[in-house]
């Protein structure tokens, strides 16, 4: 069963953060204990979206071995209805921290991989978390590939953009396949308004192009753009079609139905 999930993409702006945040929130709404980590150290965003206050330790500190895993987790459970638990491990948005993370060498990245792999023991086994989600930076960044190696399941967010399609196909063949990772594809920002009606047809077409299972198809919703990254969408708009699409993705993940 997939317990550690990495959300990745070839290009930026494909909706990784939107997806990972709303998947994590939906899992928490379903009563699960979830931790979401911002591994986009070059452009941290979860700190702003979640408006976290009094952050004691950053994910950067954990990877630098100056802070324990438990201390970096910010408890946001009160923002989600129900008995689930929702935590976030945030990347430090300070310019100095971004510069510091960009200058790490291979030895440090090797140790960082070890720290991510250790989360399975410290959080999943000892702290009884049900799911850990990694929101990554796009492309072949060290932090993203570390997250992919540490994950059980990789969600690849992509769009219909030609360069994104080509790049995603290359990444599937030359990255995820080499690491033998279970992968699910999310096609985001689909313009065709009849996408829902043609779902099965579209899903088969995408499967034949990418040769990987589909996790979901997300139409382009103006309401999401209007929210301007200010909220946890599935929590703020429980009846919106996007919330239902995310709930269906979560159902597939929980039932191990991505194939």
Q: How far is the CB of 182 from another protein (least distance, A)?
A: 14
Our CB check for another protein shows the closer of 94 and 110 to be 110
Please give the Cα distance from 142 to 179 (Å, whole number). Answer: 14
Residues contributing to the site for another protein (CB under 8 A):
64-65, 106-111, 113-114, 117, 142, 145-146, 148-149, 175, 178-180
Q: Are 147 and 39 in contact (CB under 8 A)?
A: yes
What order do you get walking across the sheet with 73-75 strand by strand?
73-75, 85-89, 33-38, 131-135, 4-8, 153-158, 182-190, 214-219
Please give the Cα distance from 64 to 122 (Å, whole number). Answer: 16
Q: How far is the CB of 6 from another protein (least distance, A)?
A: 12
Please give the Cα distance from 58 to 78 (Å, whole number). Answer: 20
Q: How far is the CB of 166 from another protein (least distance, A)?
A: 19
Our CB check for another protein shows the closer of 76 and 172 to be 172
Our CB check for another protein shows the closer of 121 and 257 to be 121
Q: Are 132 and 87 in contact (CB under 8 A)?
A: no
Our CB check for another protein shows the closer of 141 and 159 to be 141
Q: How far is the CB of 111 from another protein (least distance, A)?
A: 5
Our CB check for another protein shows the closer of 61 and 130 to be 61
- Which residues in the chain belong to E strands, given as ranges? 4-8, 33-38, 73-75, 85-89, 131-135, 153-158, 182-190, 214-219
Q: How far is the CB of 65 from another protein (least distance, A)?
A: 5
Our CB check for another protein shows the closer of 141 and 188 to be 141
Q: How far is the CB of 177 from another protein (least distance, A)?
A: 10
Please give the Cα distance from 41 to 231 (Å, whole number). Answer: 21
Assign 73 to helix, strand or coil: strand
- Which residues in 81-224 belong to E strands, given as ranges? 85-89, 131-135, 153-158, 182-190, 214-219
């Amino acid at each position: 069963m997939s317990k550690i999930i990495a959300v990745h993409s070839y290009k930026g702006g494909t909706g990784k953060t939107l997806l990972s945040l709303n998947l994590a929130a939906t899992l928490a709404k379903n009563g699960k204990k979830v931790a979401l980590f911002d591994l986009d150290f070059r452009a941290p965003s979860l700190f702003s979206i979640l408006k976290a206050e009094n952050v004691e330790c950053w994910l950067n500190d954990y990877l630098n071995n100056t802070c324990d895993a438990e201390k970096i987790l910010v408890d946001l459970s009160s923002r989600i209805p129900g008995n689930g638990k929702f935590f976030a491990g945030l990347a430090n948005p300070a310019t100095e921290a971004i510069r510091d993370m960009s200058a790490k060498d291979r030895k440090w990245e090797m140790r960082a991989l070890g720290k991510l792999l250790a989360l399975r023991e410290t959080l999943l086994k000892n702290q009884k978390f049900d799911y850990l989600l990694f929101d990554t930076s796009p492309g072949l960044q060290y932090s993203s590939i570390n997250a992919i190696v540490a994950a059980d399941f990789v969600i690849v967010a992509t769009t219909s953009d030609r360069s994104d399609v080509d790049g995603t196909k290359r990444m599937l063949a030359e990255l995820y396949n080499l690491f033998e990772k279970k992968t699910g594809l999310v096609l985001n920002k689909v313009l065709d308004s009849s996408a829902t009606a043609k779902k099965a047809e579209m899903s088969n077409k995408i499967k034949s192009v990418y040769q990987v299972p589909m996790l979901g198809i997300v139409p382009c919703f103006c309401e999401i753009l209007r929210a301007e990254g200010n909220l946890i969408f599935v929590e703020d708009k429980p009846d919106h079609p996007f919330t239902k699409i995310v709930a269906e993705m979560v159902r597939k993940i929980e039932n191990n139905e991505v194939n």
